[in-house]
Structure 1
Amino acid sequence: MNYDFTSLSPADFEDIVRELIGREIGIRFEAFAAGPDGGIDGRHARGEKTTIIQAKHLVGSPFSTLKSAMKRERKAIDQLTPARYILATSRRLTPPNKRVLAALIGPSLKAEDDIFGPGDLNALLRNYPEIERAHFKLWLSSSTVLDRLVHAAAHTFNSITREEIEAKVGVYAHNPSFTESRSILEKQHVLIISGPPGVGKTTLAEMLSFAYISDKWELVAIRSLDDGFAAIIDTKKQVFLFDDFLGKIALDAGALAAKDSDLARFMKRVRNSPNARFILTTRAYIFEEARRVSEHLADQRIDISKYVLDLGVYTRRIRARILYNHLLVARTPPPYIRTLIQSGKLPSIVDHRNYNPRVVEWMTETIHLSEIAPEQYPDAFLAALANPQRLWDTAYRTHIPEKCRHLLVAMFFCSQYGVEITELQKVFEALHQHFCKKYGNVRDPKDFEEAVRILEGSFIAIRDTSVNYINPSFRDYMDGYVADYNLLCDCANAAQTISWAKAVWIKAGSLAIDPEQKRELALLFKSIASRFGQLPTWKRAKSNDDSYQVADTSNGDRIELLLEWWDASGDGWFTERALEIAKNPLDIGTRQLFSSWRDSEKLVELIGRLRAEWYYENFPLREALIETLEDGLCLMVNNSMSSDDLSTLSDAIEDSPDTLSSEVLDAVRNAIREEFEYVSSVVENIDSESTLGDYISILQKLGPRAGIGATQLKSAVSVVEERMAELQEETSVAEAPVLTGPKKEPDQFDDADLCNLFQPLLERG
């Protein structure tokens, strides 16, 4: 592949020039910052003999620009008197061009072949492919790879535009985290990237994913483990990306409890597959909280797969490069850059104790610079680092109309991973109407449409039909903003979906409110609670009329929520609604069943709480609800369950052996015995060796619990092993892409180097 080097910044170009030419002539060059460097971009000194490299990144410029630059450099070259002077440029050269340049450089140039044009540099890249692979910004931004990125996984990343990918690659500053995390991922096949907010976890995960795509792996970006299980195919090279898998701002304990074992199973499957890689990101404090409540995440093997990304890996040079890249990609006007340099405050910004790539991103976006005069820019930058919340507070409270604030509050209690625009409109209209009525504001039918138009691009992002906050730091800001009892009461009044109401209730639980306030808040949920029996738990998937997706909370979660509101309020009305849901649980179509996938563990948990009389003290319908829940559990089990769901239910029972009646226990044992009778038909539909391996583990676990004899158990395992043998012939082992990192640069990077780095940005004006 022939590169034109347009994807590289001047600093990136200098890096690759030093490495290529250094490898070619067998010496190591010292690195210096870009800018007015006295004619030195790389130096090798051995005794009194010095070899100097100068890199001129002038792709697309006329030859006269390069010629003028070298005329200016001649005085510096003569002063340096190097034993050997080497020039490299991204500007295409002809033989006459080289002769002209040789005359301008003078006697320090030993031969014209010490002038390297883009053709010469491409030849070196072919000779040293490991350097090409290390500088992934070079090839990741090429047209071929970008096309592959955009079209790699139409069902996952098709909404990411070419421009967004180019911008992400452009602002990324290569650092040790890429190589270190890459090494863990290749060894373990699973990588959990954790760290504080805004440090660059998602960016690192995306860069790793993009690197695999360049080697023709399929990218599967997932929002749930169900997406992963549905997509994984052992014979295909696939890299799975699960961003904020434990929640964006706080641990989603309910989701973790329901999916804890699934996470372990999926990780195990990926580890056992030569063709799969799994990248997950989470905030460090969420991860540590999750490990305290999850036996699977507490597993020592997780430590091997974990990579903690913190600002410690960002040397001063790398921090400066991150800021430089953002200014370059955002095309920040030269007056702002000039003020940064001349103010003398660049070092204070780069060395700030709160330095954070997310704040850098915000402060270099053109849309925000319109409110800051160039002479105020350095102080505004430092103020943003000192108090990141101020970035959003002023914009939220003073720059947008009331209807926009209502929409942003409504969004907070929707899914953290994005909300369908139709659902957002439903919750917005109710909340907006409530606020307008309460405070006497005028309401217009077009308010939602207008609010979306105003907010898009500055506060929210819309991809296809999904809406999300444009920046994770804004969710952090909103998390503090909605922590207000009166605001939560307004939200409870306006709740339109059960999941939204549950999110409001959970948020209230994080506040220090007294029992009377909690009682008042619980009673405000009566309106939404009255519709628990009508709001569907499932809905048809848009992509396929024959498939369904989650529409709202499960029946078990609805009952639990009603019990919590009874516990807080003492109002028996909530208990009656809970019994109604238990007797008539909603399911797909006209069936009235609990979901084995969503409800089995929850039902066991609820029955256990009800039998422990201290948990829901003085509960008025205790025996009736227990009996109804057990009847529902038996009906669910007798209606057939998947192997995984049966295993999950059996585990829940083992954890609480004295919780359930003999009728339920007998139903589960009978279901396990049926599982053994139909092993052959089960394995016919499994095309994954690792899944079959998991199935063997399930059989070996469930068999003794239902009195299955050793002979029958051995026979069932043999059937599964025969199916595994069939699949082994079909599965090919993929060659893992080899990516090596560049050699570490010396860490000497003083204030002069720092300022010099930004000088080329002024020349763009």
Structure 2
Amino acid sequence: MDSFELGRLTDHDFEEVCRDLFTELLGVPLEIFPRGRDRGIDLRHAPEGGPCTIVQCKHWYRSGRAKLLAHLTDVEVRKVAALKPDRYVLATTVELTVDAKEKLRTTFAPHIRSTEDIHGVDDIVAALRERPQLVERHFRLWLSGTAALGALLHKGPLLRSDWLRRELAKVAQTFVPHEGFERARRLLDEQHVCIVTGIPGAGKTTVARMLAAWRMGHGWEVHEISQDVDEVTELWRDGVPQLFLYDDFLGQTTLLPQFGKNEDVRLLSVMRAIRDAPDKALVMTTRRYLLEEARRKHDRLASDDVRDALTGIRLTDLDLLTRGRILYNHVHRSALRPLQKRQFAARDAWLPVVSHRNFSPRLIEETLRVDLKREPDVATAMVANLDNPRRIWERIVENELTEEAVQLLEIVFTYGSVGLVELEETWTWYRRESEREADGRRFRHALQVLDGTMLVIDEGVVSFHNPSIADYIRFHLNAGRGQLGALLASCGDMQQVVRLVDAGRLADGGGIITQLMQLKEELASAVLGAEDTVDDNLEDHLEWALDTAETIGSSSLADYVAERARELPRWSENTKDLLRLADSLEGSRLITQEVSAEFRALVDDHVSSQISERVAGGWIDVNNWYAYLDEPIGWLADGTLLDDMVECALEELRELAADPGDLSEASIGFLEALLGFLTDNDAHLLHEEEFRAVERIREQLTRAREAAWRSLARSLAERSPDRGRPVKLPPNPRHEQVVVVSEFMSDLGNAESDGPG
């Protein structure tokens, strides 16, 4: 049976839980009051002319029974006598014995009617066990349950990644649910697919991980996708509830011309499959500007499938009360010394933070993690970091780190993530190109300085501690503080070159582009030198190289593209990419008309050959090939080739009319394509009876699919883990929120112990 660790709640969390719980237990609505000068009233029901009921909430789980009883009998009893309520109810997170309850009943008589109005922690936990829907309305309460905590803290079949398990448990300690999270959770329940977007540091990854924790607490497996969407199909298990977490699916600071061979097509296919599967869910995150750029480059990402799955984390989701809770949780759980924690109890310390226009949960976390040993006044340092978000890393990178360590960060930036052996090899090459000393001792020292602060090493793979560090290194390179020529010369992998160039293409990357324009030959040499590391999609690589040549005005790079392009159509199977590359060559000012015309002729021959092969294989091959091209069937075919396609379609029509076999709802698109092609080419009347027969089959399957969708919608509504909508306070004016935040921040003034609270 599930239990709850109520000590994980803040005081205000506990009061909100009590409001909803005692509204049910007492059968009357309760209003909640800001803590502080509340005259001893936390919750109250006081109808005009009716009896007054007061519920007092004492979250004294650390203090113990003796201190609580002393406070109640010495202080609270006088407040209650002055208030004279008709009924006084006590709720506390302290264990209360029978004798303790009887003593309190006697002390507070006649306002406490019986010991049933005194609820210790065991009574509250028992009442919550009987109300799972109420528990799920309070995310942090649900998260304190043994089922959720067990899933997060203990290795098991639901989550096999120890690293992700540690991250989920860490995030759960400080997470504060907000409207952006609730919006994402509702979308995931409705669509099964959710793409969380937002500006850097807004909390996209935190929301995604808490969605994963939510599902895992309800018995779902959670799988992290680290490379590309094909991992989903490899991990897919029918009949097993699974959530796939694909963080930063478009990258952190760069956008490749195509984020994997045909991955846009495969991503949409997986999204549609998950949307139709009641026991599967997909959560992805990306920065909003990267998604917009991706949608411009990949038409499919502008489809309804993507738009319907989008939700954003906006700064307006974090009102002052939510910001206060975020700050409180991070300070409360941090490794700050007691004196540093107590600083935040003062209003002039926390109010400038939670009111700041640049408020960011990530900056709060990083300031507490990085500055706690450097700054005696952490609150002031936090405001300074919010004033200048680069400050937290700029001071370290430009003033405190050795050159060896900075160049190590620059190398990691070109990779994103990289193995230790490859990192050391590239760093050594970079040092030598910079005419600096390089040896294993220097490398190990630089890595040791960065490990745990700016870099993470997990199973031999090195990456940035969080995206804000990569953002700063991009700014550092953009400002000309690195040696870009030597860095290019050290790149042995094409993806390194691509990340550097694409960092310059971002809105604030003009400095990198300016440097590359002075390093045209070095860039061309880097591309040639890393050519053997290009994956099997050479068409995409050449299109990227041509775009880069246009951006920096490199004729050498354009010549490289022209030379390699001539070889492609003889062996390539990527017809769609060949067609796109032909369009790019024709539109380039650096490619001669002769070269582009020659390439177009080669591609046309290749396309005709592909169509002939598909026609020979039958209508299914034709349909699948054009579906891959995402073009109407018959495009690029004319004359006898088109006549052959019509005959192929008619043959399929006759066979289906005679024996439709075991067609299912999945065949609707196939039938629509067949009938549409025959109609477009005026061939539907050649076999009118057969055409009508197949049209009837399509209509029957369409009706069956619509019925199945309606049934699925009903099933999803019944199985949704969050059928209840969260109960919220009415919107508070700013000054009321300040009062609430002041009270729970004042708890930090009692900080007595080092380490996490």
Q: Find 2:342's aligned residue among 334, 338, 342.
A: 338
Map of 2:452 onto structure 1: 457
Distance 1:171 1:492, change over 3 A: same
Other-structure match for 2:473: 478
| More off after superposition, 640-649 vs 275-284 | 640-649
AA matched with 1:503: R
User: 2:12 is matched with which residue?
Assistant: 11
1:411 aligns with 2:394: no
1:490 aligns to 2:486 (yes or no): yes
Letter in structure 2 aligned against 1:125: L
TM-score normalised to structure 1 length: 0.80
Distance change in 2, residues 1:627/1:321 (3 Å): same
Which residue does the alignment assign to 2:592? 618
Residue 759 (structure 1) aligned with residue 742 (structure 2): no
Contact 1:426 1:496 survives alignment (8 Å): no
2:543–2:584 Cα contact (<8 Å) kept: no
Superposed CA offset, 1:412-471 (max 9, x none) = 2224xx444444444333323323x1xxx4322233333332222211223334333222
Cross-structure match for 1:59: 61
Work out which of the residue numbers 487, 496, 499 in structure 2 matches 1:500.
496
Which one-letter code corresponds to 1:473 in the other structure? S
Aligned in 2, Cα 1:647/1:456: closer, same or farther, shift over 3 Å? farther
| Helix, strand or coil at the partner of 1:76 | helix
Q: Is the 8 A contact 2:633 2:677 kept in 1?
A: no
Distance 1:36 1:189, change over 3 A: same
1:121 is displaced (CA, Å) by 0.9
How far does residue 149 in structure 1 lie from its aligned partner after superposition? 4.3
Corresponding residue for 2:543? Answer: 560
Name the CA distance, whole Å, in 2 between partners of 1:51 and 1:42.
8
State the Cα distance separating 1:116 from its structure 2 match: 0.5
- Corresponding residue for residue 542 of structure 1: none
1:158 Cα offset (Å) = 0.7
Q: Is contact 1:194-1:201 (8 Å) kept?
A: yes
Q: 1:82 to 1:362 in 2, by over 3 A?
A: farther
Instruction: Return the letter of the residue paired with 1:432.
Output: R
- 2:208 corresponds, among 205, 219, 226, to 205
What letter matches 1:198 in structure 2?
G
Which one-letter code corresponds to 2:630 in the other structure? D
Q: Is the 8 A contact 2:223 2:245 kept in 1?
A: yes
Change in 2 beyond 3 A, CA 1:61/1:571: same
Q: Indicate yes or no: 2:339 matched with 1:352.
A: no
Q: Deviations over 1:449-504 (max 9, x none)?
A: 33332222211223334333222222222232222467433322222111111222
Alpha-carbon separation, structure 1, partners of 2:512 and 2:245: 42
Q: Which residue in 2 is equivalent to 1:524? A: 522
Deviates more, 1:742-751 or 1:633-642: 633-642
Equivalent residue for 2:535?
A: 537
| Distance 1:515-1:53 versus aligned 2 partners, 3 A rule | closer
* Pair 1:569–1:757, CA change in 2 (3 A): closer
| Range with greater deviation from structure 2 (91-100 or 49-58) | 49-58
* Separation of aligned partners in 2, 1:229 and 1:608: 33
Task: Describe the SS at the equivalent of 2:592.
Answer: coil
In structure 2, the CA distance between the partners of 1:493 and 1:23, relative to structure 1 (3 Å rule), is same
Please list the CA deviations of residues 12-55 of structure 1 after superposition, one character each: whole Å capped at 9, or x if unmatched. 22221222122100223222345675433323323474322222
> Cα deviation per residue 1:694-748 (whole Å; 9 max; x = unaligned)?
66677778889999988699989989x99x999x9xx996623234243211425
Distance 2:269 2:164 in 1: 33
- Normalised by the length of structure 2, the TM-score is 0.81
Judge conservation of contact 2:504–2:513 (CA < 8 Å) in 1. no
Question: 1:219-234 to 2 correspondence within 5 Å?
Answer: 219-223=222-226, 224-233=228-237
Q: Identify the residue that residue 331 of structure 2 maps to in structure 1.
A: 327
CA distance in 2, matches of 1:274, 1:427: 46
Q: Can you give the 5+ residue segments of structure 1 that lack an aligned partner in the other structure?
A: 539-553, 586-591, 681-685
Distance 1:164 1:46, change over 3 A: same
CA contact (8 A) 1:189 1:271 kept: yes
- Within 1, Cα distance between the matches of 2:158 and 2:750? 42
Query: Is the CA contact 2:323–2:354 (under 8 Å) kept in the aligned structure 1?
Result: yes
Equivalenced residues, count: 719
Q: Give the conservation status (yes or no) of the 8 Å contact 1:150–1:160.
A: no
Which of 232-241 and 163-172 deviates more? 232-241
The 8 Å contact of residues 158 and 219 in structure 2, kept in 1 or not, is answered as no
Cα distance in 2 for residues equivalent to 1:60 and 1:247: 44
CA distance in 1, matches of 2:577, 2:61: 63
Give me the whole-angstrom Cα distance separating, in 2, the residues matched to 1:162 and 1:91: 30
**TM-superposed deviation, 1:359:** 1.9
Structure 1 residues 224-280: Cα deviation after superposition (integer angstroms, max 9, x where no partner): 332234444553333333323334345555339944443433333233333333333
Q: Does 1:175 align with 2:178?
A: yes
- 2: distance between equivalents of 1:715 and 1:28? 62
Partner of 1:165: 168
Tell me the SS of whatever aligns to 2:230: helix
More off after superposition, 574-583 vs 518-527: 574-583
SS at match of 1:369: coil
For residues 189 and 94 of structure 1, the distance between their equivalents in structure 2, rounded to whole angstroms, comes to 47
Q: Hey, what does 2:721 align to over in structure 1? A: 737
TM superposition shift of 1:95? 0.6
Partner secondary structure for residue 52 of structure 2: strand
Structure 2 residue 579 is matched with structure 1 residue 604 = yes
Does the aligned pair in 2 maintain the 1:56–1:89 contact within 8 Å?
yes
Q: Helix, strand or coil for the counterpart of 1:123?
A: helix
Of 692-701 and 402-411, more deviation after overlay is shown by: 692-701
Q: Does 1:431 align with 2:430?
A: yes
Aligned to 2:252: 248
AA matched with 2:494: I
Verify: 1:82 aligned to 2:90, yes or no: no
Cα RMSD (Å): 4.6
Of 473-482 and 300-309, deviating more is 300-309
Q: 2 CA distance for matches of 1:209 and 1:43? A: 36
Contact 1:260 1:294 in 2 (8 A): yes
